[in-house]
Structure 1
Amino acid sequence: MSHSRNQRLPLIVVALFLVMDFSLGASALVHVPEDTGGGTEVAVLSGPGLPSPLMCGDEECPEKDRSPSIRPVDSGWPVEDPGWWFGYWYDLDSDGMDDRLQRIITGERTSVSTTSITGSDGLPTVAIVVDYSWHPGQSDIDAIRTVLLDHGWKEEGSWFDPLRILDSIVIDHVPVGSLIEIWLLDGVVMIEEQTVIVPLLDKASRGSKVRDSEVFDETMRDFGYDGSGVVIAILDTGVDNEHFSLDDFSDDNNDNEKEPDELADPKWLGGCDATSWNSQDCDDGSIDPDDADGHGTHVAGIALGTGDERRINQGYAPGAYLVDVKVMSDAGATNSAATLRGIQWVMDNADHDWGNNESSEGIDVMSMSFGSASDPQGDDPGDNGTSAEARAVDEAADAGVVPVAAIGNDGRRRITSVGASDSAITVGAIDDENTIERGDDMIASYSNSGPREDDGDDNEWEELKPTVVAPGSNIMSSQHAASSSTLPGAPKPLAEDSYTQMSGTSMSCPAVAGFVAVMLQINDDLNPQEIRKTWAGLRTQYNGKVERTVRFWHRRWQHDSRGDARRRCGSREQQY
């Protein structure tokens, strides 16, 4: 987005009060432990609820020194803050190995990887993220490849993806028997289990005062704001952008067989299929991923659909451009490697000239309607924003992309994956009771609540999630082209002008992403941090009273977020 506006932040605030509900779902008075002056190293703990210790042969592995150290000549300076790994949520015993992986090593748990195969040791392989204290160089890559190959790992068809945005290497098909040797490599400070990412499943936009209605007199459209000139990346299952609500701005096109470059005013600018182990599908943005699931097309319609020539089922920012980033497979559940690659691609193209026109440059907003699948072996509350996906979202925000994420549909206190990021605008769902009036809106029963787990820093506001709630129940939006054929090579069906209803925080997330596009149309000087603080700083009035304090939410949700203190004492029990 290259155009400029002279309006300042006060206009944004006025507009937000005019059009949206702002409700924090939950937060807490977060306990911040005192600095004992003992440095950043955390002693390895043992006790109830903790995994069995790592074994090196017949003996317990010695404690590994994970403090930042002198890097190899061919490695790079770290791109992340040193020491973040000491607060990694799924490492309760502070040994540098994800507790979930430790339980796989000891046979207490099996791999959940969506790409798992039988390894050379006869066990299902795992998908991991290997984190370093420096940015891994060629010697690090060679060393980890050697370990993998020694354990029967096959490079062909496997993920092996050194990231640029994190100090990490993403790998799948990893034999369980290789994990200890990888952990022992120089510079390795954490081995994470890849998260399994799943989708989080006309009145909505009217009830938010975005479109005209018989209830609200002044709307954003009356002021001329529709997200024009703003670019939204939809990170999802792909988008069938030939749908008449997603193909062009004017809705003059009625031929769904036309490619975007054949249209006079296409919404689609570029795309990336991050679900393929072949990284070339995410190179130059020429890939136009299809949606065989339907989730991504529905989400895109909510964020930026024009509603076709009838202009009925319009999204929140029908003037916004579309970038299609496929991070979930047609089957839905996908390892987080695809999420990391997709976010990295978004960052790489944050200032890209798409060659369309001067108003369609870069990527301004990314909408992420997904989260981690619930672990079948534990009622976990999510994480504290230290997972690879959450850290990648923080990097994207630092690069100028506004991250908007769904909070999840477990109906309990649980915040995971991208939604747990410090920088994410994390969105919960309300049920609008199928009316435009907002007085009868209620938090949806399926919508997760906060606060997020404490990451141990001194910023209590990062734990306050969701940041905002938006309509998520029975939302009508674009329907993908479902195929009835199972024959290989059968012609792909094309989306036309059909609409369908879905419910979930997946539907709430793109509503907020579209509204962020409107904010950026009003003032394109706003950065992601300012936008998030603007949303988080507002509250809806309840019974004529505005509640603004952290303590109010702490009392309301009856949550004692002293997880960090319990974590350091080794007394918090949790199964995975």
Structure 2
Amino acid sequence: MRRRLLTAAAALVLVVAGAPALAAAPAPSGYLVGSTSPLTPAQLDQLRDAGAQVHVAYRNFGGAAAAIPSTKVAAVRALPFVTSVNPDPIRKLAAVSDPAAAPLPNAPYWHDQMDLENVSQTGAGVWVAVLDSGFYPNWRDYFVESDILTDKARAFTGVLGNPNANQWDSGSDPHGMAVSATIVGHRFADDTNEGGWGAGYATGSPGTRWIPGVAPNAKIIPVKVCEPIGCFGSAINAGVDYVTSLKRANPGQPIVINASLGGAGLDAVEKNALDAAVKAGVVVVASAGNEGDAGMGFPAAYEPVVSVGAGGWTRQWNDYPDKTWWLDDVAEASVSEVYVTGFSSRQKAGQYLDVVSEGRYLLLPYPCAQLYKDGQVASSTNNRTCASKATPDNASAAPFQYLFMSGTSFSSPAVAGVVALMLERNPLLSNADAATGTLNDPASWGPGELERRLEASATPLQPGSVTVTHRTGVPLTETWGADAIGHGWVFADDAVNAAG
């Protein structure tokens, strides 16, 4: 969905001499209205009578999203069942076996470094809801159709967002496809200019191949909650509410939410949404953020959510400009070749960083590369379009269909995939016993059983510093402290064994 910029048409108004001009009514703004339990029809009527234009009332927890003029906020807040009225927050995306595709000559480094070769589980029987930017209409060019649960895919907008008739596959950003590809894999049509950097073919020769996912037999539910300007909290909450309903309708079905997005603060209604999902048995995994020393974003910083920082391999781009490095063998030497990226958000007071996983230079579908400078998201690209791959008669189109992508946006789905492997091993495992505590008391929050097992299985990391080769071929020094490592590095085999 593209967010349209609305331009008010100028209107000529005749005013009788001596008569005052009528003042325009204040335009409504988006708000999240909290309540202790799901709103009743009578309470919704009271909200409307007080001046709130209700956008959605959440089903599984207390609260609603509404458009409210500034002159009516006090009246809404004064209603006896209303516990909070806060502006609708905006989160941002955290991105700095197929017969049609031949196998890769080797495993991707991020699989090798996660010890996936030691795991027999594939995520079979697990649903992963990807709360993100949705898919492009040509998503079948990248995915096996049966891997995507199209009958369950949905799209939600913010309070003031444009209606999109549930167009989950009319995305305005490829981020959601890249995140999903990390989990279930994708087709890769190799060409000399694919991947964005380096010389030659990324796989060593031309052709179409299949890049496996961390949980290749899991099923993806695309849930579009983001617009070009960001991801409104009201839409995210609606997405979480929808997935919670799916879980309650299918109590024996293991379901994971991946949220590769985040922002400052934890809103009361957002906490209600997360608590309802967690208590229902949905496992929520989220990216820690790409803000470095500025700290983590929410929902990841909320302890009942599994939060994931980003690391990489010390031998990335070691033979620059050759770009087949990602298929080199990773030595089985514990965490000796692991580093934590400088952009990965550090844990600050009142925040909880759980684990670290691969989030540096994963080769993923990203067909809007012309909107990014050197592979990094450029500023002022809110009004985005996407063209097909460049051809001799369409040279202005996107130069790449794939990029070596970085960000906690991709370490999060890597761990969401590992969680899917754990749930295949033990479908009854969840974080439903997590301590949700109170909104402004992080000390009252606690992890659930799955998170505790995942954390205990992680291999501890030590603070350190390493110089690696950057994507441009120049040296890059990455330095991290104790606030960047959580409980350590996730190895898939250890996590699966810990699932019981």
Whole-Å Cα distance in 2 between the matches of residues 148 and 404 of structure 1?
36
Offset at residue 388 of structure 1 (A): 2.3
Query: 1:368 maps to what in 2?
Result: 259
C-alpha contact (below 8 Å) 2:88/2:233 kept by paired residues: yes
Aligned residue for 1:537, secondary structure, equals: helix
1:261-300 equivalent positions in 2, closer than 5 A: 265-269=146-150, 270-275=152-157, 281=165, 288-300=168-180
Deviation readout 1:151-201 (Å, 9 max, x if unpaired): xxxx5xxx62111222112113x2222222222222222112221011011
Whole-Å Cα distance in 2 between the matches of residues 491 and 246 of structure 1?
16
Residues 281 and 483 of structure 1: CA distance in aligned 2, closer, same or farther (over 3 Å): farther
Pairing 1:473–2:360 present: yes
- Aligned residue type for 1:180: A
Offset at residue 343 of structure 1 (A): 0.7
Whole-Å Cα distance in 2 between the matches of residues 280 and 362 of structure 1?
29
Percent identical pairs in the alignment equals 21
Aligned residue for 1:417, secondary structure, equals: coil
Residues 244 and 519 of structure 1: CA distance in aligned 2, closer, same or farther (over 3 Å): same
- Aligned residue type for 1:290: S
Residues 124 and 235 of structure 1: CA distance in aligned 2, closer, same or farther (over 3 Å): same
CA RMSD of aligned residues (A): 3.7
Residues 303 and 280 of structure 1: CA distance in aligned 2, closer, same or farther (over 3 Å): same
C-alpha contact (below 8 Å) 1:346/1:363 kept by paired residues: no
98, 105, 115: which one aligns with 1:209: 115
Query: 1:326 maps to what in 2?
Result: 224
Pairing 1:195–2:89 present: yes
Pairing 1:131–2:12 present: no
C-alpha contact (below 8 Å) 2:368/2:386 kept by paired residues: no
1:332-371 equivalent positions in 2, closer than 5 A: 332-350=229-247, 362=253, 364-371=255-262
Deviation readout 1:31-53 (Å, 9 max, x if unpaired): xxxxxxxxxxxxxxxxxxxxxxx
Query: 2:47 maps to what in 1?
Result: 144
Offset at residue 272 of structure 1 (A): 0.2
Query: 1:7 maps to what in 2?
Result: none
1:303-314 equivalent positions in 2, closer than 5 A: 303-307=183-187, 312-314=210-212
- Aligned residue type for 1:203: Y
Residues 347 and 227 of structure 1: CA distance in aligned 2, closer, same or farther (over 3 Å): same
Deviation readout 1:420-474 (Å, 9 max, x if unpaired): 3332101111132345354132221111121452xxxxxxxxx5x2111111122
Query: 2:450 maps to what in 1?
Result: 531
- Aligned residue type for 1:472: G
Offset at residue 394 of structure 1 (A): 2.1
Query: 2:121 maps to what in 1?
Result: 225
46, 61, 65: which one aligns with 1:166: 61
Residues 535 and 421 of structure 1: CA distance in aligned 2, closer, same or farther (over 3 Å): same
TM-score (structure 1 length as normaliser): 0.56
Offset at residue 241 of structure 1 (A): 7.7
Whole-Å Cα distance in 1 between the matches of residues 239 and 462 of structure 2?
43
- Aligned residue type for 2:455: A
Offset at residue 493 of structure 1 (A): 5.7
405, 416, 424: which one aligns with 1:521: 424
Aligned residue for 1:514, secondary structure, equals: helix
Query: 2:467 maps to what in 1?
Result: none
> Which has the larger displacement, 134-143 or 314-323?
134-143
Deviation readout 1:294-313 (Å, 9 max, x if unpaired): 11111111111144696553
Deviation readout 1:322-360 (Å, 9 max, x if unpaired): 11100101x14132111011111111112657xxxxxx9
C-alpha contact (below 8 Å) 1:121/1:176 kept by paired residues: no
Residues matched between the structures, number: 364
Query: 2:415 maps to what in 1?
Result: 512
Query: 2:11 maps to what in 1?
Result: none
Query: 2:304 maps to what in 1?
Result: 423
Query: 1:396 maps to what in 2?
Result: 277
- Aligned residue type for 2:113: G
Whole-Å Cα distance in 1 between the matches of residues 61 and 7 of structure 2?
27
Offset at residue 534 of structure 1 (A): 0.8
Whole-Å Cα distance in 2 between the matches of residues 205 and 387 of structure 1?
38
287, 293, 297: which one aligns with 1:412: 293
Offset at residue 117 of structure 1 (A): 10
Whole-Å Cα distance in 2 between the matches of residues 532 and 115 of structure 1?
42
Residues 504 and 121 of structure 1: CA distance in aligned 2, closer, same or farther (over 3 Å): farther
Residues 244 and 162 of structure 1: CA distance in aligned 2, closer, same or farther (over 3 Å): closer
Aligned residue for 1:198, secondary structure, equals: strand
Q: Which has the higher strand share?
A: 2
Residues 535 and 178 of structure 1: CA distance in aligned 2, closer, same or farther (over 3 Å): same
Whole-Å Cα distance in 2 between the matches of residues 341 and 493 of structure 1?
31
Whole-Å Cα distance in 1 between the matches of residues 163 and 59 of structure 2?
13
Query: 1:181 maps to what in 2?
Result: 75
> Which has the larger displacement, 412-421 or 339-348?
412-421
More contact order relative to length (CA 8 Å, sep ≥ 6): 1
Aligned residue for 1:148, secondary structure, equals: coil
